[in-house]
Amino acid sequence: MLLPSPRGTLGAALVSALRGDGPVPATGAHDDEDDLQLSLWVLYELHYRGFDDVPGTWEWDPELLRLRAALEAGFEAAIRERCAGLVTEAEEQAGEQDDVVTALRLIAEADVPALSSYLHRTATAEQYREFLMARSVYHLKESDPHSWAVPRLTGAPKAALAELQYDELGGGRPDRVHQQLFADALTEAGLDPAYGSYVDLTPAPVLAVNNAMSLFGLHRRLVGACVGHLAAFEMTSSLPCRRYAQGAERLELGPAVVRYFDEHVEADAVHEHLAARDICARLVDQQPALRADVLLGAAACVLLEADAARATLDAWEQGLSALRAPEQERVA
C-alpha cells in the first residue's frame, strides 16, 4: 500500500514528512474531522503493515510519536465524552453488584441505526459494494488491533483471547484466516482485495471506528478498553451477519460474500461468550479497576459504529454515495 491522499493541512504536512520532504508537524492542529482521522490512521498504520513508500524506521520516530500523542489526546477525550452516557446507563441498569457481562450486554443492546436491515432488504448491489469497500479497511486486518492485548494479559483472559484469535486467524489454515475470507469476498464482488485499497474512499466516521481499535490496542493502559471493544464487537456481530449474508444472497453477490458473513453467524455466537465471560469478566476479576475501561471500550465499539452507520444510511437515503469521491473527482 502507498500513502493515502491527505485530507487537509495536517495530513499534507505529515505525508510530506513521511516522504522525506519536510519536517514532522509540530502540533496536532488539523482542519477538520477528515484531516484528523486520516492523519491518525496513517500514524497507526506504521505499526501494522505500513506503506511501501515509507521507510520502516519511521515507526518509532519520536517526533511522530509526539504528534500521535497530541492527536490521541483529543480523540480519546472525544470518545470518553461520546460514551459516558451509555456507560452510566448500563452501569445503573446492571446494578453495582452485577458482573461486568450484564453491563456489557446492556451496552451491546443499545439502539443503533439498522444498517444490516437495510443491506438485508433494501440496498442495491452498488450500495452493498460500498459497504464492503468501507469495511475492507478493518476486515483486511480483522482481529489485528485486538491482538495487541495478548502480551498485556495474563492467565485466564490471555488463554481465552488466544483461543478466540486462533479462530479469527484461521486455526492454522491460511485459507481460513478471516482477513483472507474477506479478501475472497471482495474479489468475488468485483472489488480490489489489496490491503488498504479503499482508504482514500473511506469517510471519517469509518476511519474513526478503526482508529479507536488501534488507540485501545496500542496503549497498555487501555487494555481494558481493547478487550471491552472486542466483546461488544462479537456481541453485536452474529445477528447483523445473518442479515448481511441474506442481503448478499438477495443481490447474488456470490458465495464468497455469503460465506464470509455466514461464517460469522455461528463463530461470533461462540466468540461472544469467550470475549465477554472468559476475557472481560476474568480480567475484571484480576483487576477490578479495569471495569470502567472495559465498558468504555464496549460503548466506543457500539457508538462509533452507530455514527458510521447513520452517516452511511443518510447518504443512501438521499440517493448519494456513502463513500468519499476519489481525489480527481473532488478536484474537478
Check residue 3 and report its DSSP letter: P
Alpha helices, H only, 154-290: 156-168, 178-188, 204-218, 223-235, 238-250, 255-273, 282-286
Quote the least distance from Cβ 142 to Fe ion, whole Å. 5
**At which residue does the C-alpha cell 440496498 appear?**
123
Is the Cβ of residue 30 or residue 271 nearer to Fe ion in the bound state?
Answer: 271
CB of 180 to Fe ion, least distance (A): 11
Residue among 29, 211, 195 nearest 14 (CA): 29
Instruction: Kindly indicate which of the ranges 48-56, 68-76, 263-271, 324-332 contains the residues binding Fe ion, using the contact rule CB under 5 A.
Output: 263-271
Measured CA to CA, the distance from residue 266 to residue 238 in angstroms comes to: 7
Shortest distance, position 222 Cβ to Fe ion, whole Å: 21
271 binds Fe ion (CB under 5 A): yes
| Contact region with Fe ion (CB under 5 A), list: 76-84, 85-93, 182-190, 268-276 | 268-276
Burial class (CB in 10 A: 0-12, 13-18, 19+), 295: buried
Alpha-carbon gap, residue 37 to 206, rounded angstroms: 9
Minimum CB separation of residue 264 from Fe ion in Å reads 6
Nearer to Fe ion, 34 or 168 (CB): 168
Q: How far is the CB of 259 from Fe ion (least distance, A)?
A: 12
Considering beta carbons, is residue 168 or 293 the nearer one to Fe ion?
168
State which residue, 268 or 307, has the beta carbon closest to Fe ion: 268
Write down the least CB distance from residue 168 to Fe ion, Å: 5
For residue 293, state whether it binds Fe ion (rule: CB under 5 A): no
| Whole-angstrom distance, CA of residue 184 vs CA of residue 127 | 19
Interface of this chain with Fe ion, residues 157 to 196, rule: CB under 5 A: 168, 178
Q: What are phi and psi of 54, to 5 degrees?
A: -130, 125
- Residue count, binding to Fe ion (CB under 5 A): 4
Closest separation between CB of residue 179 and Fe ion, Å? 8
Q: Enumerate long-range contacts of 262-265, CB under 8 Å, 24 or more apart.
A: 263/178, 263/181, 264/178, 264/237, 264/238, 265/238, 265/241
For residue 105, state whether it binds Fe ion (rule: CB under 5 A): no
Nearest-CB residue to Fe ion? 178
Q: Which positions lie near Fe ion, rule CB under 5 A?
A: 168, 178, 268, 271
